[in-house]
Amino acid sequence: MKYGYFDDNALEYVITTPKTPLPWINYLGNKEFFSLISNTCGGYTFYKDAKLLRLTRYRYNNVPYDNNGKYFFIKDGDTVWNPGWQPVKTTLDSYECRHGLGYSTWVSTKNDIEAKVLTFVPMDDNCEVSKVTLTNKKSSDANITLFSYVEWCLWNADDDMKNFQRNLSTGEVEVTDGGSVIYHKTEYRERRNHYAIYGVNTKVDGFDTSRDDFLGAYNGPDSPDAVAAGKCTNSMASGWSPIAAHQINVSLKPGESKTFVFTLGYIENPEDDKWEAPSVVNKKPAVAMLAKYNNEAAVDAALAELKKYWSELLSIYHVSSGNEKVDRMVNIWNQYQCMVTFNMSRSASYYESGIGRGMGFRDSCQDLLGFVHLIPDRARQRIIDIASTQFQDGSAYHQYQPLTKKGNSDIGSGFNDDPLWLIAGTSAYIRETGDLSILDEMVPFDNDMSVAKTLMGHLKCSFDFTATHKGPHGLPLIGRADWNDCLNLNCFSEHPGESFQTFGPSEGPVAESVFIAGMFVKYGEEYAELAELKGDTAEAERARAEIKKVYDAATTAGWDGEWFVRAYDANSNKVGSKECEEGQIYIEPQGFCVLAGIGVKEGLAEKALKSVEERLDTKYGIMILQPAYTKYHLELGEVSSYPPGYKENAGIFCHNNPWVSIAETVLGHGNRAFDIYKKTCPAYVEEISDIHCTEPYVYSQMVAGRDAKFHGQGKNSWLTGTAAWTFVNISQYILGVYPTHKGLSINPCVPEDFGDFTLTRKFRGATYNISVKQNGAQKGISKLTVNGKEVEGNIIPYEEGVKEYTVEAILG
């Protein structure tokens, strides 16, 4: 069952009922000012950092789940309704929500009044603009009242929901223009130099800034007293809960429309220019911002600019395959999600509260893989930011705060896969751009410039960390965990509430990870290539000798007979082996070792992927392990804490499905690679939205596995490395356009009935128009022609000054 449909021409998903199984959200904002917005207008706004600079308040864990947002209320006689249905939930005569790239719209009607709402964050301003158009479709005059409503957050979202003894006394506001512009200035009198505004481009008939006065002390936003009365109270908040609400009385002749523009903005003032009079904030920048968006034409122009921005970004990689689901994911939604994960890392979604996790070291490095082609300059900066939180021995803080860009100790360090992801991200950036200069940038350790090294020096630290932290089998030590945050082999937690990620000794000298071995072979080689490009062949040779040792360990101690072992625990017992009672096979080492090329020539890779298909596959995707843990295993940690079928305990962790799909392409299995791609692909899953529940235009982190009661149900949508890895899989391995240091490589691996396809790829300043003739083959180019000339091998030679490449590849 579906709750909407894709409108590919408009680059939108159209939701046709507000009653989706879960909130179906969108992200507004591309750079520093962001909003989350659901299909019922729930959500919140922040500047740069969802924890430290939250503009509007949201209550996670609310009932109903998605409650509090930036709402508009329409009072028409005795009927009160919202264009997004919530919070009043009056049955609408019609409802449509469209989520587009960085904007959302609603068109709803009730009793022949139509409300159109458009909301977006303009490209270059720190504000969210909402255009509200009311139309009278009756044959008589309409006299209605429009109310707006936002609830301010007192900036630090963590403190905001805990520290009431202080917070209920700090709220401060100012109001100008008869109530049209409301200023939220809590803590501005002391250490903040920023405030927020909510303004509308018309004279208002009333306003409120105190929540209790607008709603009534015993009401929620589903029944505001002021709306019921048809009149705001012109309240001035002092402490308690400041809000911003406008009241606009609207008279409409039959057929007449009126449009209002609301601007929710973030303003920063210079320290020495904070005030225009004692206790009166300097409003100049706010007035300028409001003036910029005070008319419909300006708003439309700003939206057009946003759409142009996206169409340019999406022209960098564009496929026409004749398969509409593939085309819509590759050309629109998968790339869009890559941008969102790049911007948010794992900080703010409807499942990440914005106060828990900031930017993840490993997460952000992987997000780069799917983003780097879009805006390489931003990727470059991100690499430097991430590397700046690394420690001198190559290990790293597991996460950092986006506002301060400093590592935070909330989850500590000691996740031994982290260092190698830095090589992955940097290599992807250099293969995309050819910009080797990044390797010479001086980058601090733990943000301390006095101990800076070049980025290449950082990569060496990353490489050496793994090379020098090995266990009894010559495999890399796992530390607190590797990619699987829940495989905590040095934790041994016996008491509820202890963090699996920070409890126990991180420096376990015994527990080893075969997954990190796979990473070391893959990214160690990428490191060696970078060393070669820098002319350091001795270092490349040294690296390859180290890689060989780990390769050999992976194919011996890391091999279980039919698949790769997952790990060795702190007692040197195998994890993910036929010897285990539960958790005999894990997906991660199968996918990653094979994609790294481990065991291909020895025939182990074939066996490992066969075992995955036989033991882990389901119709909704590949499970992370089997059999699920039914008991808590002290020696394994959080992985065994989840009920069977959920999360890391035998859920379908979407993130590593593309690893297996890529691994299948390494072996030339186009049919199977694509089959895996389809199982978790949102455009394919759309048909079962009632089972899947999460948004059908983006990936979720997890789909419940076979052991779970709700097999097939998605959870934790949006902020997952699945976005980047799937884009890498489909764009670079299945469709096969892979950036190498020497130029683009063309090596598709598709199912035999895929058919011919064409592709445009902008790369290092040139445009490549690629057409692939399939001839029923799954993999293997028999002829490659570039600008009319036949070329040996798979790589399109880069020719200085050539801006257009016409490429014809024939498979089979």
- Residues lying near ligand NOJ in the complex (CB under 6 A): 346, 360, 362-363, 483-486, 648
Distance (Å, rounded) from C-alpha 462 to C-alpha 516? 12
| Shortest distance in whole angstroms from residue 656 CB to ligand BGC | 12
CA-nearest of 386, 383, 377 to 405 is: 386
Cβ-closest residue to ligand BGC?
A: 485
DSSP string, 196-210: EEEEESS--SEEEEE
CA-nearest of 16, 206, 204, 36 to 128 is: 36
For 306, residues 6+ apart whose C-beta sits below 8 A from its C-beta are 30, 101, 102, 103, 120, 122, 123
Distance (Å, rounded) from C-alpha 67 to C-alpha 635? 40
Query: What sections of 269-397 are H helices per DSSP?
Result: 284-292, 296-314, 324-328, 334-344, 361-371, 376-387
CA-nearest of 508, 639, 550, 633 to 586 is: 639
CA-nearest of 521, 536, 599 to 562 is: 599
For 698, residues 6+ apart whose C-beta sits below 8 A from its C-beta are 333, 336, 337, 340, 682, 717, 718, 723
How far are the Cα atoms of 92, 238, 294, 768 from residue 73, in angstroms, in the given order?
13, 25, 21, 50
Work out what residue 483 binds among ligand NOJ, ligand BGC, none; the CB cut-off runs from 5 to 8 Å by kind.
ligand NOJ
CB burial of residue 223 (10 Å; 0-12, 13-18, 19+) = middle
Torsion sign (Cα): 681, 686, 687, 688:
positive
| Shortest distance in whole angstroms from residue 708 CB to ligand NOJ | 17
Q: Nearer to ligand NOJ by C-beta: 503 or 754?
A: 503
| CB contact at 8 A, 234 and 224 | no
CA-nearest of 465, 489, 611 to 550 is: 465
Q: Is 485 an active-site residue?
A: yes
| Shortest distance in whole angstroms from residue 360 CB to ligand NOJ | 5
| Shortest distance in whole angstroms from residue 428 CB to ligand BGC | 22
667-705 exposure pattern, b = at least 16 Cβ within 10 A, e = fewer? bebbebbbebbbbbbbbebbebbebbbbbbbbbbbbbbb
| Shortest distance in whole angstroms from residue 219 CB to ligand NOJ | 38
Q: Nearer to ligand BGC by C-beta: 431 or 647?
A: 647
Assess whether the previous peptide bond of 627 is cis (omega < 30° from 0): yes
Torsion sign (Cα): 61, 66, 69, 73:
negative
| Shortest distance in whole angstroms from residue 398 CB to ligand BGC | 8
Distance (Å, rounded) from C-alpha 460 to C-alpha 539? 9
Distance (Å, rounded) from C-alpha 109 to C-alpha 94? 5
> What residues does 184 pair with on adjacent strands?
173, 196
Which entry of 485, 560, 569, 707 is annotated as an active-site residue? 485
Distance (Å, rounded) from C-alpha 175 to C-alpha 244? 10
Long-range (24+ apart) CB contacts under 8 A made by 707-714 are: 707/628, 707/644, 707/645, 707/650, 708/643, 708/644, 708/645, 708/646, 708/650, 708/651, 709/645, 711/618, 711/620, 711/645, 712/619, 712/620, 712/688, 714/685
Q: Nearer to ligand NOJ by C-beta: 604 or 698?
A: 698
CB burial of residue 87 (10 Å; 0-12, 13-18, 19+) = buried
Work out what residue 501 binds among ligand NOJ, ligand BGC, none; the CB cut-off runs from 5 to 8 Å by kind.
ligand BGC
Q: Nearer to ligand BGC by C-beta: 66 or 485?
A: 485
User: What letter would DSSP give residue 69?
Assistant: B
| Shortest distance in whole angstroms from residue 481 CB to ligand NOJ | 7
| CB contact at 8 A, 718 and 639 | no
| Tokens encoding 144 | 């209605």
Residues that bind ligand BGC (CB under 6 A): 411, 485-486, 501, 638, 647-648
| Shortest distance in whole angstroms from residue 567 CB to ligand NOJ | 14
432-443 exposure pattern, b = at least 16 Cβ within 10 A, e = fewer? bbbeeebbebeb
Can you give the length of the chain in residues? Answer: 812
| Shortest distance in whole angstroms from residue 400 CB to ligand BGC | 14
CA-nearest of 723, 808, 743, 740 to 774 is: 808
CB atoms within 10 A of CB 782: 11
Residues known to be catalytic: 485
